[in-house]
């Protein structure tokens, strides 16, 4: 994953998080209750996802996930009337995302590769080159297997840390801190993925070049023996 891809991930997360946090604290400044402010903020998040999907005329996996996060949270919050429960749902969905990453490894389709192509491939040629490397080079596949495992475990840890804080700290504190933890986690993962993915691609290219050189050398030695 390139550095530009890393920046794009952080940009997407910020656009999906900052309006939600801002809406919550504006509502609280206007003396709106915690529950009503949280529900309004979740509604803004859901509308943001819907707007992006309509503008881009596509509703991909990332948008679908964010839509589920806000949509399910709003429905369950309406049923329970609990602002903290709405925050807790976000931790649960993060954990589910972590499990999906780990499950994709078991299925033999590491999710980090699809994420890297979406956010890190500068153009269609880059995406095709990565597809070729992924199909031909075990080292390249291993890079994204490791990357997917790290993402899955990190998201599970982030969820495990954040969920108790939802009930230990005041809602007004966790409304902002919850999102900051998520952005920080994804930002660090993105920075590490940019470095690790680039290193893996370079190693795979070297391995591919070495193999090609070895294949070319065999006929040459055979001719010299003749």
Q: How far apart are the first and last CA of the chain?
A: 47
| Among candidate residues 139, 138, 145, the one with its CA nearest the CA of residue 110 | 145
- Asked if residue 167 lies in contact with residue 177, where contact means CB atoms within 8 angstroms, the answer is no
What is the rounded CA–CA span in Å between residue 186 and residue 158? 10
pLDDT (tens digit per residue) in 100-158: 899 999 988 888 888 777 766 677 777 788 888 888 888 888 888 999 999 999 999 99
pLDDT (tens digit per residue) in 169-214: 998 888 888 878 887 888 788 888 888 878 877 777 776 666 555 5
């Amino acid at each position: 994953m390139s550095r530009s891809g890393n920046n794009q991930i952080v940009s997407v997360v910020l656009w999906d998080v900052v309006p939600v946090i801002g809406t919550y604290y504006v509502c609280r400044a206007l003396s709106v209750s915690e529950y009503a402010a949280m529900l309004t903020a979740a509604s803004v998040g859901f509308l943001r996802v819907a707007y992006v999907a309509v503008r881009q005329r596509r509703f991909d996996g990332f948008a679908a996930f964010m839509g589920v996060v806000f949509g399910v949270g709003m429905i369950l919050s309406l049923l329970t009337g609990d602002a903290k429960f709405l925050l807790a749902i976000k931790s649960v969905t993060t954990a589910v995302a972590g499990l999906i990453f780990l499950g994709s490894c078991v299925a033999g389709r590491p999710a980090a590769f699809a994420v890297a192509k979406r956010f890190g491939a500068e153009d269609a040629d880059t995406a095709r080159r990565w597809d070729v490397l992924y199909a031909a080079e075990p080292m390249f596949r291993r890079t994204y297997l490791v990357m997917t495992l790290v993402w899955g475990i990190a998201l599970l840890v982030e969820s495990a840390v954040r969920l108790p804080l939802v009930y230990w700290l005041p809602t007004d504190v966790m409304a902002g801190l919850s999102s900051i933890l998520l952005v920080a986690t994804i930002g660090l993962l993105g920075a590490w993925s940019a470095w690790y993915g680039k290193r893996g691609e370079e190693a795979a290219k070297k391995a591919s070049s070495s193999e090609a050189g070895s294949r070319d050398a065999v006929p040459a030695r055979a001719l010299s023996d003749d």
